[in-house]
């Protein structure tokens, strides 16, 4: 072998050896160290965070990572344990404890577009026609959809001093519509309306269980008792709940001393029974409670206490099924954490909480109930027959989540003509009511009783003016006379109720007039007995 060839082979071998040695050194340098995860609890999580902090290539945004970790951790526990950034926590407290100046909506931002969850009754947004489900596209000239616009910045743009205006552009059923809203002091009363439906039957609509609920309810019921009430219809439909103590105060008004209202129990929270003290002012009147699929939490405590104690009749549709008890933990930076610590059980022992098998399944539950026919047919209600319980009078009730009413009232889908749906998409009835008020402020502002309001509405040409408004402003015309006749009774009553809201009677006028076509209230006015 020639000398040059020998040198080449040796050089190649040395190169291979050097490369192997370098690879070994690199592997040793990047191998890190073995992390100990022995012991109970969060040792592995802590080890990961400490290692990231010590060895990660770049600077860590500890605040952002911490908030993501907290949110993700709590979301894996149950549907109602949650982390609340400062803005969200403040909004939650405002909703249950006080008021604020703004446009009067609650919204969520699930996929980079804000979706209206609730329009506060009597607030500025409701009066112009903003509806739950609307997608918020613009605030004045600022695009807030599809651009990862911060949620707290959205809130700041919508809030503002009373009397100032803001234009909100919404997407509804594929069509964008601008709404000019005059900001105001948002009414956050618990009792939306209370009045006598007839000579002996009183009606109270309760929208939430806030810090003032018991005082408002006692005041409203005292006024109705003075007017001769012997039967009370308590409307808890679409009431998503609130403070536990307020549901206890309300239930206590109806029950005899020693009767169980609810009990709570959890792994680290021993069973606690809440009992009536027997000093309630409404123990001796006939009682009906209205619920639906959006009645949750504190509403279900009241409905369950009334049902299990055979104190009154529950009418409507199966309630939501939110029976997890959250405790609020506050952080020094203004944020907060709601952590589930126990479960609500009705007096008979039923757990109010419906099953949850993942976030998506839980979120779609009401939609799946509708698809399964539960909203239309009582026989389609899914109850767990293996969880059989009994009221104090021996009636059988079942577990499985939520409160199943004693009398079922289906969702009314018979009035949804094509003209009605088109008007609803454009909020034509609400916008007409606002238009009418602008032209008839003097007359409406003088009306402060139902009889006068009825006479005024009967004498006004509201039907013709509404159809003209729908045609001229929104380009909507009933396809035929028969189509209008199909919708007339329902739509005209709705329009009259919306116009009546602008009188001094406010929300009372709306619910009083609307009760004429409210099938659940009409059912509650019939005689019923528990058997």
Q: State the DSSP string of 61-82.
A: -HHHHHHHHHHHHHHTT-TT-E
277 catalytic residue (yes or no): no
Tokens read off for 270: 């021993």
Helix and strand numbers, DSSP H then E, in the chain: 19, 21
Q: Verify whether residue 333 is a known catalytic residue.
A: no
∠ at Cα 293 (402, 317), nearest 5°?
A: 80
Establish whether 526 is a catalytic residue: no
In terms of C-beta density within 10 A (0-12 exposed, 13-18 middle, 19 or more buried), how is residue 265 classed?
A: middle
* Candidates 192, 235, 308, 365; catalytic one: 308
Dig out the tokens for 15 from the structure.
């190169």
Q: Which of 322, 354, 422, 426 is catalytic?
A: 322
Q: Please, are residues 447 and 457 in contact by the beta-carbon 8 Å criterion?
A: no
- The rounded distance, in Å, linking the Cα atoms of 205 and 299 is 12
Q: Parallel, antiparallel, or unpaired for β 231-235 and 201-206?
A: parallel
Give the number of other Cβ atoms within 10 Å of residue 497's Cβ.
22
CA-wise closest residue to 102 among 59, 161, 56: 161
Chain-centroid distance of CA 150 in Å reads 22
Q: Catalytic one among 190, 247, 297, 319?
A: 297
Alpha helices in 182-319 (DSSP H): 213-226, 244-252, 298-308
Give the whole-angstrom CA distance, residue 382 versus residue 144: 40
CA distances from 460 to 128, 455, 463, 471, 505 (A): 22, 9, 8, 19, 18
From residue 201, alpha-carbon distances to 127, 194, 251, 526 in Å are 29, 11, 19, 11
**Which residues does 399 contact at the CB level (< 8 Å), separation at least 6?**
350, 351, 383, 384, 387, 388, 389
DSSP letter for each residue of 232-264: EEEE-TT---B-HHHHHHHHHTTS-TT-EEEEE
Between the alpha carbon of residue 72 and those of residues 77, 237, 331, 332, the distances in Å are 9, 32, 17, 21
Distance CA 247, CA 396 (A): 24
Q: Where are the beta strands (DSSP E) in 317-401?
A: 324-330, 336-345, 384-390, 396-399
Tokens of 189: 């009363």
Q: Please give the positions annotated as active site.
A: 297, 308, 322
């Amino acid at each position: 072998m020639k000398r040059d060839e020998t040198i080449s082979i040796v050089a190649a071998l040395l190169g291979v050896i050097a490369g192997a040695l370098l690879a070994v050194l690199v592997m040793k340098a990047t191998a890190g160290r073995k992390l100990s995860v022995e012991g109970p609890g969060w040792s592995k999580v802590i080890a990961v965070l400490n290692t990231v902090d010590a060895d990660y290539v770049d600077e860590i945004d500890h605040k952002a990572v911490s908030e993501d970790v907290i949110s993700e951790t709590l979301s894996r526990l149950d549907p109602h344990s949650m982390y609340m950034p400062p803005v969200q926590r403040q909004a939650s407290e405002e909703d249950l404890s006080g008021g604020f100046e703004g446009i009067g909506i609650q919204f969520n931002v699930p996929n980079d577009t804000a979706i209206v969850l609730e329009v506060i009754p009597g607030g500025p947004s409701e009066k112009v026609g903003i509806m739950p489900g609307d997608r918020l596209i613009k605030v004045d000239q600022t695009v807030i959809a599809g651009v990862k616009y911060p949620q707290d910045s959205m809130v700041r743009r919508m809030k503002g001093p009373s009397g100032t205006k803001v234009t909100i552009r919404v997407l509804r059923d594929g069509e964008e519509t601008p709404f000019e809203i005059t900001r105001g002091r948002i009414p956050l009363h618990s009792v939306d309306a209370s009045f006598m439906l007839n000579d002996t039957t009183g009606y109270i609509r309760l929208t939430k269980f806030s810090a003032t609920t018991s005082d408002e309810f006692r005041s409203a019921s005292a006024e109705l008792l003075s007017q001769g009430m012997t039967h009370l219809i308590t409307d808890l439909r679409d009431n998503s709940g609130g403070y536990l103590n307020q549901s206890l105060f309300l239930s206590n008004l109806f029950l005899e001393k020693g009767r169980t209202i609810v009990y709570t129990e959890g792994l680290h929270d021993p069973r606690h029974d809440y009992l009536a003290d027997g000093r309630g002012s409404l123990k001796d009147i006939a009682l009906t409670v209205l619920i639906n699929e959006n009645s949750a939490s504190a509403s279900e405590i009241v409905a369950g206490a009334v049902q299990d104690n055979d104190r009154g009749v529950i009418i409507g549709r199966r309630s939501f099924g939110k029976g997890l008890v959250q405790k609020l933990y506050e952080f020094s930076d203004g944020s907060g954490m709601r952590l589930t610590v126990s479960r609500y059980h009705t007096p008979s022992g039923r757990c109010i909480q419906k099953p949850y098998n993942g976030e998506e399944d839980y979120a779609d539950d009401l939609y799946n109930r509708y698809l399964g026919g539960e909203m239309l047919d009582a026989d389609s209600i899914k109850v767990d027959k293996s969880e059989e319980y009994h009221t104090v009078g021996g009636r059988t009730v079942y577990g499985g989540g939520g409160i199943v009413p004693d009398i079922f009232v289906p969702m009314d889908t018979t009035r949804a003509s094509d003209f009605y749906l088109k008007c609803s998409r454009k909020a034509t009835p609400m916008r007409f009511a606002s238009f009418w008020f602008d032209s008839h402020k003097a007359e409406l502002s003088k009306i402060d009783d139902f009889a006068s309001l009825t006479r005024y509405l009967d004498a006004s040409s509201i039907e013709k003016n509404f159809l003209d408004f729908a045609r001229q402003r929104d380009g909507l015309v009933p396809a035929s006379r028969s189509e209008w006749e199909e919708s007339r009774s329902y739509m005209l009553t709705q329009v009259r109720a919306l116009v009546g809201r602008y009188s001094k009677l406010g929300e009372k006028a709306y619910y009083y007039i609307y009760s004429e076509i409210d099938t659940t209230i009409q059912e509650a006015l019939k005689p019923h007995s528990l058997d």
